[in-house]
Chain A
Amino acid sequence: MKKFSRSSPRIEAGDLFRLIHTVRVLSKDRLFLFGLAVVVCAVLLAIAAPVVTPYASQGLGLAAIPPPSCPGVPTEIAGVCPPTLAHPFGTEVLGRDLLARILFGLRTSLLIGLYVVVLATTVGLLVGLTAAFFGGWVDETLMRATDIFFAFPHLILALVIVAIIGPSFYGIFLALGATWWPTFARLARGRAAVVKNQTYVLAARAAGTGSGGIMFRHILPNSIAPLTTQMMLDMGGAIIAEAGLSFLGLGVRPPAADLGVMIFESEAYITTAWWYALFPGVFLFLLVLAFNLMGDKMTQYFDPRLRRR
């Protein structure tokens, strides 16, 4: 217990506290909680994939050899069997369990989302903070370069980059990361330009703190909070972009499990095997929806102008 009386927490005191306050409010928001629950489930399932499902995600499925006993399905789609107790989501073209493929595919999606957002945030923060901190021609150069990246749609630019470095997990990660940072750079610059002129930065300089200390202990920690909602929204964006690129054959390559790849493979069976396209699609949909819901709700509560009441 502290002996002195505390003044009431002032929300404007700092972004971090606004963030904590936001989280407190959000913990009562049903849609946010739904999004959070979906994401937590997805993460747990992805981590525990080998435990949850007895089947492997790669190689030939058990259903393929010997030829599956799934009556009524034409022989040309031998490996594709409808849901049974043993394979609750059915099997796919090579006879692999669809649930196992989806769970391992979640790993790819979440990892790509995380990597892309972390890369984009890091680069964006670096560029934005440098621009705001030094100002002048450094600011102009960096922000005009950012504008050039903004001029291209995410996917088009990513397509070009993947085409250059080749389709793979790391190719797609670099391609998406390279196209995603400008948003963060702009956000970080805007925020840092405000923080830079706060009295505590001046006070720190008056106390003899050097440029590095000012940047990393004062400007950086006070500029991060507004980026968190953007990170949430961009997780969803990056996941769907990755699935899209993989669907086009420019992302993760078979045999690796990936939701986009699975949806691409299911294309030929869309009229004969409903489960093949449906289950990966539903998982992808839920995951992206969850991130977007969380991001939207965070924006809504974070920005007082959008807050109801």
Chain B
Amino acid sequence: MLSLFNSLSLDLSRKEILGVVGESGSGKSTLAYAVTRLLPGNARILSGEITFDGQPILRMSEAEMRGVRGKKITMVFQDPSTSLNPVFRIKDQLLRIIKENVGLDGIPARQHAIQLLREVELPDPPGVMDSFPFELSGGMQQRVMIAMALSSNPSLIIADEPTSSVDATIQEQILHLFKRLRGERGFSMILITHSIAVAEEVCDRIAVMYAGDIAEEGPAHRVIESPKHPYTEALVRSIPRPGEGRTRKEDLPVVAGQVPDLRSPPSGCRFHPRCPYIMDVCTGEKPAFYPADGARALCYLYEGK
């Protein structure tokens, strides 16, 4: 038995892109699966609420949930090469999803599919439709996944590390695609990433997660330009930036230490063993959220400010 999230609250407005940033094991993906109720069988949500469009997601029946999952909330996954069923052609998978979630069939469905593939900037949509997943490159596969996620015109897209397994050029293209589509279609988006640089590029707001907690949350530019939480500060410093005049011998700053083992989390603030500003109070009680310059941080440094 392992309790993951202790203090976690997030809000997402319409048309907003929220970046959830954190190291491996900080609970970013678990958060995403909780929202769509796709947590593995051994996970239990003991308390808390998830409200989507005024509906309490955690109190919905599985049947009601299926009306949300894939229709109003869709997901894009990390590794596009394993996200598509290898034995079916793209058209079979795309048309099936359109049939199930949009209710279109036959020629209208095909037109819709081609339109979607065009929207995600895939060349030769009919050719892509007739391909098997393994015939497409990683970037193309990810675009197909995005087209599937768009098919039902959802109000929320959860993208779980959508660019972690594609190269830098494709990453750039896909991030721009998300931004453009958000502008055109007006969906909200949760972008889960381990890269604060990726989050900076597309997100309106950023939530930094650490060991199952939200360490800091605020408007993207604020979080990046003046990080409040010591963890965010360390993360931001670790972004390599050109023209910083760093000499070759100087190492890029890193966050020292390891993510704590959540089976025996540190007392008090979970970041205190790695924190450069550690105070006596940090090891005792867990800190609360304190507002700090338009953002909020889970850190005693901002208590009473």
Contacts and interface: CB of A to CB of B under 8 A. Distances in A.
A208 interface: yes
Q: Which of A17, A198, A205, A208 has the most CB of B within 10 A?
A: A208
A17 B86 CA distance: 8
Contacts of A154: none
A207 B158 CA distance: 11
Contacts of B124: 2-4
A225 to B, nearest CB: 9
Interface stretch (B70-78, B205-213, B234-242, B277-285): B70-78
Interface stretch (A53-61, A216-224, A282-290): A216-224
B86 A208 contact: no
Contact of B70 (A16, A209, A222): A209
Contacts of B132: 13, 17
B113 interface: no
B293 interface: no
A205 B68 CA distance: 11
B114 interface: no
Contacts of B101: 207-208
Interface in A31-56: none
B38 A203 contact: no
Interface stretch (B6-14, B103-111, B134-142, B253-261): B134-142
A14 B134 contact: yes
Contacts, number: 97
Interface in B78-110: 78-79, 81-88, 96-97, 100-101
B164 to A, nearest CB: 13
A208 B134 contact: no
B53 to A, nearest CB: 16
Contact of B71 (A14, A208, A217, A221): A208
B81 A13 contact: yes
Interface residues of A, number: 30
B100 A209 contact: yes
Interface string A203-217: 111111110010001
B303 interface: no
Interface in B52-68: 66-67
A202 B77 contact: yes
B190 interface: no
A139 B140 CA distance: 38
Contacts of A222: 85-87
A207 B77 CA distance: 11
A199 B82 contact: yes
B87 A199 contact: no
Interface in B29-56: 36, 38, 41
Given A208-B69, A222-B86, 20 more contacts: A2-B127, A3-B127, A6-B136, A9-B134, A13-B86, A15-B87, A16-B86, A16-B87, A135-B41, A200-B83, A203-B83, A203-B84, A204-B85, A206-B36, A206-B38, A206-B75, A207-B75, A207-B148, A208-B71, A222-B85
Interface of A: 2-4, 6-7, 9-10, 13-17, 135, 198-200, 202-210, 213, 217-218, 221-222
Interface of B: 36, 38, 41, 66-67, 69-71, 74-75, 77-79, 81-88, 96-97, 100-101, 123-124, 127-128, 130-137, 140, 145, 148
Which 10 A-B residue pairings sit nearest by Cβ, starting from the closest?
A14-B86, A208-B70, A13-B134, A2-B127, A207-B70, A206-B75, A199-B82, A3-B124, A208-B69, A16-B87
21 contacts: A2-B127, A3-B127, A7-B134, A7-B136, A7-B137, A9-B135, A13-B132, A15-B87, A16-B86, A135-B41, A199-B78, A200-B86, A203-B83, A206-B36, A206-B70, A207-B75, A207-B148, A208-B71, A221-B85, A222-B86, A222-B87
